[in-house]
A and B are shown apart, each in its own frame.
Chain A
Amino acid sequence: RKEVEQDPGPFNVPEGATVAFNCTYSNSASQSFFWYRQDCRKEPKLLMSVYSSGNEDGRFTAQLNRASQYISLLIRDSKLSDSATYLCVVRREGFQKLVFGTGTRLLVSP
């Protein structure tokens, strides 16, 4: 079993739709949580960190449930430019390396 699991998708949604991605992690020592975005043949870029209380950045909302070891990302009012692969990322306490899920692909169509 992978340490970080994501539904690979693709999620096909029309512009303006709301879409949610989920991610589970298996190591309870995970301490830091992130969503990265990766465009085709490009490097991953940080979308947002995920905090225990949940956090929002414009159209994006991230939630963390430590008890269930579950992370989510909600995108409201999807734009064509949101089409990308969204990577769920965790870091264990005491370790510096990031552990990546394989990503969820989002396709937003006109």
Chain B
Amino acid sequence: GAGVSQSPSNKVTEKGKDVELRCDPISGHTALYWYRQSLGQGLEFLIYFQGNSAPDKSGLPSDRFSAERTGGSVSTLTIQRTQQEDSAVYLCASSFTGTGNIQYFGAGTRLSVL
């Protein structure tokens, strides 16, 4: 498809397990963003990748969270030793460049930590 693709769409895991969430941005978009949306909360920025530059990790809530972007395209967000407060919808967005361009969102991964 032409949009941002995320997988899985839903993930249920047990507390303490690690999870990996995947994002495939729109073809040609150089910038990629991860956000999360907790119940009743606004979207919260996590991390931003722009081309080959060092990512902006300023939104990652703890060192249990990490992300990488391979080959300037697909990105993986990893949460280690999941906690119940990690339960949220994790949304990925991409844009043509990092500056001034519209961010298009994927449908998200709904993570439930039991």
Contact = CB atoms under 8 A, between A and B. Distances in A.
B61 interface: no
Nearest to B33: A97
Contact of B59 (A2, A46, A97, A103): A97
Interface stretch (B64-72, B77-85, B102-110): B102-110
Interface stretch (A11-19, A37-45, A57-65): A37-45
Interface residues of B, number: 25
Contact of A96 (B31, B44, B91, B105): B31
A44 B43 contact: yes
Contacts of B98: 96
B11 to A, nearest CB: 15
A98 B102 contact: no
Contacts of B35: 98, 100
10 contacts: A2-B42, A32-B100, A43-B107, A45-B105, A46-B103, A49-B102, A96-B33, A96-B98, A97-B56, A102-B40
